Homo-oligomer: A and B are copies of this chain.
Amino acid sequence: MAAALLACDWGTTNLRAWTLDDRGEVVARREFDLGVSKLAPGEAARRFESEVQPALEAEDLPAILCGMVGSNLGWTTAPYADCPAGLSDLARSLVAVEAHAAWVRIVPGVRASGLAGAPDVMRGEDTQILGWVASHPDRAQGTHLVCHPGTHAKWVVVEDGRIARFVTAMTGELFAVLSRHSVLKGDGPTDDADAFDDGLAAAGEGDALAARLFTARSRVVGAGKSAASTPSYLSGLLIGAEVAAVPKLLGVAQGVPVSLLGDAALCGFYARALQRRNVDCETFDGEAAARAGLFALYQLGERA
């Protein structure tokens, strides 16, 4: 297999890169500890040329990059594409950057009208979601609800193959700051299934979170549960509250099936939370979706 493209999912904390052949199949894969949050201004271009391209022997290949690399923290700011946004909309808005390669493009993020009059935005999840659509033709028509869990989870309505609207829930970040800095901090594992399920049960309909969160404390102080079970309980409570309440913000009826897209372990927690609410869900690999999206955007953008 001859490499034909260097494809990068370059996020806040991490950079994943693949060389792909002319059918989009993986030739080689590398990860780099080069998340844009760790880079100085101007550093992204330099590290790309000095580390990423050589590591994958990709100095002479065209390259396409998605994620926070297209923000003011990254290489250059790629203006957002507005919803509804499909692959062809993003392909029209690819941003060219200068590098030791003939063709290097950055994928724009996507913007939607958000809650409370402020626009909501994503960078990188868009490419995964549209790549997932491209590699699942049965999802190219009709309306689908996609959840991309993470520090800032995205709930996305896909209509006829385009991102129609979405909302961000900072569930992962709430978990991180409460686990580290509040009375709910704890050192236990996050895979205590009983505690996770207890957290799901305590989530109710995702209302009154500040009160429901306090049960993570009172169950230890007043009901004899182990402090080591707090992280799993807190995870269940926060994810349970999210899956109960956030889809409604998008005007999605209760019980609509959810396609989970992203990290397998994290999607597993969401699947358990959805099953508990009798919501059908199916899990898809985020990395494969990112590759598919980058390859499709390259094909569309390179022809343009």
Binding site for B on A (CB under 8 A): 111, 114-121, 152-153, 155, 167-171, 173-174, 177-178, 180-183, 198, 201-202, 205-215, 217-219, 221-223, 225, 238, 241-242, 245-246, 248-249
A167 to chain B: closest CB distance in Å?
5
User: Shortest CB–CB separation between residue A176 and chain B, in angstroms?
Assistant: 8
Q: List 27 A-B contacts (CB under 8 A).
A: A114-B222, A115-B211, A115-B214, A116-B198, A118-B225, A119-B222, A153-B210, A167-B214, A168-B211, A168-B214, A168-B218, A169-B210, A169-B214, A170-B183, A170-B211, A170-B217, A171-B210, A174-B210, A177-B177, A177-B178, A177-B181, A208-B241, A208-B245, A209-B210, A210-B238, A211-B242, A211-B246
Q: How many copies of the chain does the oligomer comprise? A: 2
A111-B222 in contact (CB<8A): yes
**12 additional A-B residue pairs with CB within 8 Å, beyond A152-B214, A168-B218:** A115-B212, A118-B215, A118-B223, A119-B223, A120-B214, A169-B210, A169-B214, A170-B210, A170-B217, A173-B183, A208-B241, A210-B238
Are A177 and B169 within 8 A (Cβ)?
no
Contact among B207, B242, B245, B248 with A248 in the assembled complex (CB-CB below 8 Å): B207
Q: State A205–B115 Cα separation when bound (angstroms).
A: 13
Which of the residues B117, B217, B223 comes within 8 Å of A117, measured between beta carbons? Answer: B223
Evaluate contact between B183 and A181: CB separation under 8 angstroms.
no
Shortest beta-carbon distance from A82 to chain B in Å: 12
| B246 pairs with A208, CB closer than 8 A | yes
Chain B residues in 8 Å Cβ range of A213: 170, 174
Given A114-B222, A183-B173, the answer on whether A249 and B208 have CB atoms closer than 8 Å is yes
Contact B119 A202 (CB under 8 A): no
* B168–A114 touching, CB < 8 Å: no
